[in-house]
Amino acid sequence: MVQTKTSYGRCAKVFAAVIFAVVICMGFFDFSKANAASSGFYVSGTSICDANGNAFVMRGVNIAHAWYSDKTEESIRGAADLGANTVRIVLSNGAQYSKTSSSEVQNIINMCKSNNVVCILEVHDATGSDNTYDLDRCVDYWIEMKNVLSGSEKYVIVNIANEWYGSWNGSPWAEGYKSAIQKLRNAGISNMLMVDSAGWGQYPDSIKDYGRSVFNADPDKNTVFSIHMYEYAGGTSSAVKSNIDNALGIGVPVVIGEFGAQHSNGDVDEASIMSYCTQKNVGYLGWSWKGNNSDLSYLDIANSWDGSSLSSWGNTLFNGTNGIKSTSKTCSVYSGSSGSGSSSSGSSGSSGTTTDQYGGVWGLDGTYCIKSVHSGKYLDVYYGKADNGTNIQQHSKNGTDAQKFKLVSDGNGYYTIFTAASGYRSCLDVYNWSRENGANINQWEYHGGDCQKFQFVKIGDAYAIKTKITDCYSCLDVYNWSTADGGNIAQWEYWGGNCQLWYLEPVSESSSSGSSSSGSESSGDSYTSLFWGESSAGAWQQAASVMTSKNGGSFNAADIRSNGYFYVEYSGTQNQVEFILQSWSGGAEWAKVQPSETGTANGHYYAKYSYDNCKAAFGSSDFSGKLDQIHAGAANSGITVYSVCYCYY
């Protein structure tokens, strides 16, 4: 958005014992993890992940520090109090407006951290310019701010230049940004970078046609794109959806960096923007908090700098359907929650997975039920048949071999997905070696071809299951967004919808110990299920209680061993689950065990309790003689427990 203090212008996301030297999925979609992943925000597929490895979806506002510097702190606090998790701050390099000093930038970052909001910093002076000189001056400004930016990667994203390149032409826009990004990285700027589309931010085809080349120019593979949705890019529902879909189609995150309810040359479909962003897990930032001139005062979100009074547009943005209050979640670098990141699978609740440089997860070998994020139904072999060509579909959970799949790594970043229905002789297969959209997924006897190899790319708590036959361009997809039993599973180019994302739920598979037809044997942690289902409890109550076999129960405490751990999966408030070992046979009467690991899995929270922690709390290693009952309950707020297992290596 163009603004002076008195006038606005036009707003036109290695588990191996050895390191494998491999090159995989180097085609159009090379979902690369950013080099900065351990210290700040990074790209994972079409998701933005924070330093804890959790997907982060922006919900926030733009704040015009460059023109109202004395109101910045009050504005940030007001937006945060209303639920914003992100603020985009207008700065100046001195080319058009008063230069924002390094001390000011540091203060702004501190203000954002104090209010638990993510800080996007942008230079506004090159707005609408087609001149690379103006872009270079923005780059020079960021290099000048390097000492301030260093160490801020967890909290700060650098939006290189607001709406640079006003013409509706993607090629020179791309060339300018390729050079800018490389210059920033060569200078040691390691923050996530954000790039506005051409055409005053309103020409998203620049992202669709040239965005991948811009992304690939970043050696850190840590650049995201921004569309400014006003009357051209966001005027109608169809425009909103096609522009977001096209941008996500290059396999990189996109954010709606600016939008309003109306604009100079026409109406804006703000309801569709907020709705479709919510559906697609895309961030959005409303323009702007306060300070627009009289001609554009309808773009003011707040009537007062502290946000105690909102305009009609502000009320829609914060309180409307799919608005900030109902969809915003505080970034986990502030909330303290820990995600799976690159050191844990998260979805399986087991440690030992790593993510390679192309986004594929290693260390998932094991047997799973595979659940659709979209429908909640499970990958299923039609009627549990063992025949070649049997269709793969989705179906409600039934616990049969038709829904058990064994992942076996080839050591090069791909997995074969063997089917229990075939006795693990056959596997998932892209029919007829097809690379086309809509190609059917069936079961076929294992032969080791590329049509039977898949890459698992971590997207939040779930996975996109990419097909090697398409160079990882496409993935397993619930065809036509079906929610029905029997809904077909096909291959479709990846665009990041929930119909293309899957949870992995580990299953006990004692019958799968024989060698697969690949000639290799790999398995995940074996486990015994103590409780499986859904049980809720209020504060200080028990959601799941299991007697040991010495008291007629199902769990044999003699199975507890030094290389094992208990695992609890639950929802509610993180770290509010209590795991208790109870004894009336000489052990601790009511032993609360401290977790050895916590995180997120399958859209829930999980906690692990190691052997050493159990022994310390129980006061004895004689579990078989003294342990009588096991409980998973709530601390001081209610929870729902879905699974209590005992796992061992």
Read off the pLDDT of residues 376-434 as tens digits, 9 standing for 90 and up. 999 999 989 999 999 999 999 888 889 999 998 876 788 999 999 998 889 999 999 99
Q: Do both 534 and 629 map to the same domain?
A: yes
For residue 542, what are the contacts with CB-CB under 8 A and spacing of at least 6? 580, 631, 632, 633, 634
Q: Of the residues 304, 335, 366, which one is the last residue of a structural domain?
A: 335
Q: Find out whether 640 and 575 touch, Cβ atoms under 8 Å.
A: no
CA distance 348 to 330: 24
Name the residue with higher pLDDT: 511 or 464.
464
Q: How much is the average pLDDT of 60-72?
A: 97
Q: How much is the average pLDDT of 521-535?
A: 61
Q: How much is the average pLDDT of 14-21?
A: 30
Q: Do both 493 and 570 map to the same domain?
A: no
Q: Is residue 381 part of a domain?
A: yes
Q: What is the residue type of 366?
A: G
Could you give the dihedral angle defined by the CA atoms of residues 214, 220, 221 and 227, in that order, rounded to the nearest 10 degrees?
A: -60
Q: Do both 196 and 226 map to the same domain?
A: yes
pLDDT surpassing 50 at residue 12: no
Q: How much is the average pLDDT of 494-514?
A: 73
Q: Is residue 29 part of a domain?
A: no
Q: Please give the angle made by the CA atoms of 82, 88 and 93, to the nearest 5 degrees.
A: 145
Residue 356's pLDDT is: 56
Return contacts of 95-98, CB within 8 angstroms, 24+ apart: 95/125, 95/126, 95/134, 95/137, 96/4, 96/124, 96/125, 97/4, 97/66, 97/67, 97/124, 97/125, 98/66
pLDDT band at residue 359 under the 50/70/90 scheme? low
Residue 490's pLDDT is: 97
Q: Do both 120 and 206 map to the same domain?
A: yes
Please provide the average confidence, as pLDDT, over all residues in the chain.
Answer: 85
Q: What is the residue type of 582?
A: Q
The string of DSSP codes covering 9-42 is: -------SSS--------SS---PPPGGGGTS-E
The three-state secondary structure class of 629 is strand
Q: Do both 200 and 174 map to the same domain?
A: yes
Residue 346's pLDDT is: 32
Q: Is residue 151 part of a domain?
A: yes
Q: Is residue 343 part of a domain?
A: no
pLDDT digits (tens, 9 = 90+) for 285-339: 999 999 998 888 999 999 999 999 999 999 999 999 899 999 999 998 887 654 4
Could you give the dihedral angle defined by the CA atoms of residues 569, 575, 579 and 580, in that order, rounded to the nearest 10 degrees?
A: -160
Candidate from 171-180, 181-190, 528-537 with smallest mean pLDDT: 528-537
Count of structural domains within the chain:
3
Q: Do both 90 and 208 map to the same domain?
A: yes
Q: Do both 441 and 298 map to the same domain?
A: no
Q: Of the residues 512, 540, 556, which one is the last residue of a structural domain?
A: 512
Q: Is residue 507 part of a domain?
A: yes
Q: Find out whether 195 and 223 touch, Cβ atoms under 8 Å.
A: yes
Q: Is residue 194 part of a domain?
A: yes
User: Rounded to the nearest 10 degrees, what angle do helices 237-248 and 270-280 cross at?
Assistant: 30
CA distance 1 to 63: 11
**DSSP-derived secondary structure letter, 371:** E
Look up residue 560 and give its two tokens: 């507890």
The three-state secondary structure class of 71 is helix
- Give the residue numbers annotated as catalytic, written as ranges: 163, 258
pLDDT band at residue 611 under the 50/70/90 scheme? very high
Q: Do both 397 and 472 map to the same domain?
A: yes
Q: Do both 432 and 497 map to the same domain?
A: yes
Residue 513's pLDDT is: 29
* Count of Cβ atoms closer than 10 Å to residue 590 Cβ: 11
Q: Is residue 7 part of a domain?
A: no
Residue 165's pLDDT is: 98
Q: Give the highest mean pLDDT range of 43-57, 171-185, 346-360, 515-529.
A: 171-185
Residue 94's pLDDT is: 97
For residue 315, what are the contacts with CB-CB under 8 A and spacing of at least 6? none
For residue 379, what are the contacts with CB-CB under 8 A and spacing of at least 6? 369, 370, 371, 372, 392, 394, 403, 405, 476, 489, 502
Q: Of the residues 482, 512, 542, which one is the last residue of a structural domain?
A: 512
Residue that has been written with the tokens 């071999």 in this structure = 401
Q: Is residue 323 part of a domain?
A: yes
Q: Do both 398 and 276 map to the same domain?
A: no
Could you give the dihedral angle defined by the CA atoms of residues 401, 403, 408 and 410, in that order, rounded to the nearest 10 degrees?
A: 130
Q: How much is the average pLDDT of 573-584?
A: 92
Residue 510's pLDDT is: 40
Q: How much is the average pLDDT of 180-190?
A: 97
pLDDT band at residue 489 under the 50/70/90 scheme? very high
Q: Do both 445 and 552 map to the same domain?
A: no
- The enclosing domain of 240 has a CATH number of 3.20.20.80
Q: How much is the average pLDDT of 235-259?
A: 94
Residue 353's pLDDT is: 59
- The enclosing domain of 472 has a CATH number of 2.80.10.50
Q: Do both 331 and 400 map to the same domain?
A: no
Residue 584's pLDDT is: 87
Task: State in Å, rounded, how far the first CA of the chain is from the last one.
Answer: 56
* Count of Cβ atoms closer than 10 Å to residue 336 Cβ: 10
Look up residue 457 and give its two tokens: 């790319």
Name the residue with higher pLDDT: 27 or 260.
260
Range of the domain at 621: 526-648
Please report, rounded to a whole number, the percentage of residues in the chain having pLDDT higher than 70.
Answer: 86
pLDDT band at residue 153 under the 50/70/90 scheme? very high
pLDDT surpassing 90 at residue 600: no
CA distance 199 to 202: 5
Q: What phi, psi does 57 have (nearest 5°)? A: -115, 120
